[in-house]
Amino acid sequence: MKQFNDLRKQANTLKSAMSEESVEVENSAVKIIMDGNQEIKSLNINKDYLNPDKKNDLEKKITDGIAEAIKKVQRKMAMKMQKMGGLDNFMK
């Protein structure tokens, strides 16, 4: 039970540290700001893409932007975990 409580405490520490992080991704259609807990904090759409003819392109740009933001957050999380002693430290 102690190991479980220690693991939960470490996970909460990581979550708290990640909430202070953010990433920004921008492409020709959108600018996305995502926090370290993978919550989208801002989504700005280029007005040139607010046109029915560009709907499919806009959807792809949003999807691609979100995927890129998630990857950036995951890289930051991996670096934070390393600084906190790595995954092995979480499993002790």
The class (CATH top level) of 22-85 is: alpha beta
Per-residue model confidence (pLDDT) at position 87: 58
Per-residue model confidence (pLDDT) at position 29: 97
- Sequence-ordered list of residues with C-beta below 8 angstroms from that of 86, at least 6 positions apart, any chain: none
Per-residue model confidence (pLDDT) at position 14: 81
Phi, psi angle pair for 35, to nearest 5°: -85, 175
Domain boundaries, the chain: 22-85
- Sequence-ordered list of residues with C-beta below 8 angstroms from that of 43, at least 6 positions apart, any chain: 30, 31, 32, 33, 62
Per-residue pLDDT of the chain (92 residues; tens, 9 = 90+): 777 787 788 888 888 888 889 999 999 999 999 999 999 999 999 999 999 999 999 999 999 999 999 999 999 988 888 887 765 555 54
Per-residue model confidence (pLDDT) at position 89: 55
Per-residue model confidence (pLDDT) at position 86: 64
